[in-house]
Structure 1
Amino acid sequence: MNSFSTRRCLLLGTTHLLAIAAGVVLFRSIPGFPPKVQAPPAPAVSGLPKEAADPPSGERRPESPPAASVCEAAWRTLAWQGLPLAERRRAGALILRDWIQADWRAALDAVMKENSSDSIYLGEFLDQFVRDPIAPWEIIEKKTYGARTDSLKIYWREALLRVSPNNPARQKILTSLPEPARRAFVSAR
């Protein structure tokens, strides 16, 4: 590959990533989108008035994840960007991380209904599956995604292995398994 082709590829990749970033920024800047929820005033911290508990001027509070609809729009836009596979996967993983926080079921639905190469994104759901192993188990039992449910089951099983053996959700799932499957799961640990 000559120097011109390398520069062209880098320029193309950079412009596509900038376009995706601009789209996310644009959606975040729409007035009234996502709708703001008025939270009740926080109680004073350790006897200090509320103003004293706020961060000093210039410090930023961590941003909340974008709304699920913003993530969905970014995901759909990403599919049509024509990015090289490695860049698409990096950008897709970033979008999914926010989307999983906002609405993990919609994010999972998008990943599972895409082409089969998108199941590489299922690893992004591990933390969510560890926090709540029962909801994905219900999806697996119903075989919601047909044959693709097996790829989901692989990642869910890995997450379940990370859940504490004393966790009631894990115990409930294990007791619902047939005896041979339960023995196979326990011995795999």
Structure 2
Amino acid sequence: MKVIFLITFFFVSTVHAKVLVSVQHEVSAPVLKDIAKNIVEAKERPSDEMAMMAIYPIFDGNGKRSPFTLKCPPFHPNGHGEGCTLFVPVVNSVGVGSGTVKIEKKISERPLKLAMAKIEKLMSSEDPNAVEEWDHKQIGDPFSSSSNAGSHISCTSEGIRPDKKWRCLVSVSETLK
């Protein structure tokens, strides 16, 4: 049983000219679960145990380290400051230099929980043509500098019920200054 996610990040630069950069990553369900688990565990720790930023490696279902890294800030009791930053290594496709760049995307526990709940619902469905779609008005830290950040998730069955294979397309967009 395997769930594959395609996470697409769209960034628009307004420094000199508008540049659209599209990067796709395949993320398996175990990786997403590991991200969610680390965020939940970070929130459950007493604030005095997290005086500094905590860094979590992410592992896949086989126990191998993924290219993603999660950083979580101290969580305030009243909820302020929630939101972990997911560091995604990507190939520089802008044409400026080469190698790897880091894209920082703030995420929170709620969107991950919603995604996993929807996917689990799909996997238990008996309809081979089932489709689930949902939108997040905003994904990430409530104090995000971007007012138009958003995401859309669409999951469809690949029609192989015995293996319960599902494909989910996760689109996240944000305009950066």
Q: Which TM class, normalised by the smaller chain length?
A: under 0.3
Q: Which has the higher strand share?
A: 2
Asked which structure has the greater CA Rg, the reply is: 1
TM-score by length of structure 1 reads 0.25
Larger RCO, structures 1/2 (Cα 8 Å, 6+ apart): 2
TM-score by length of structure 2 reads 0.26
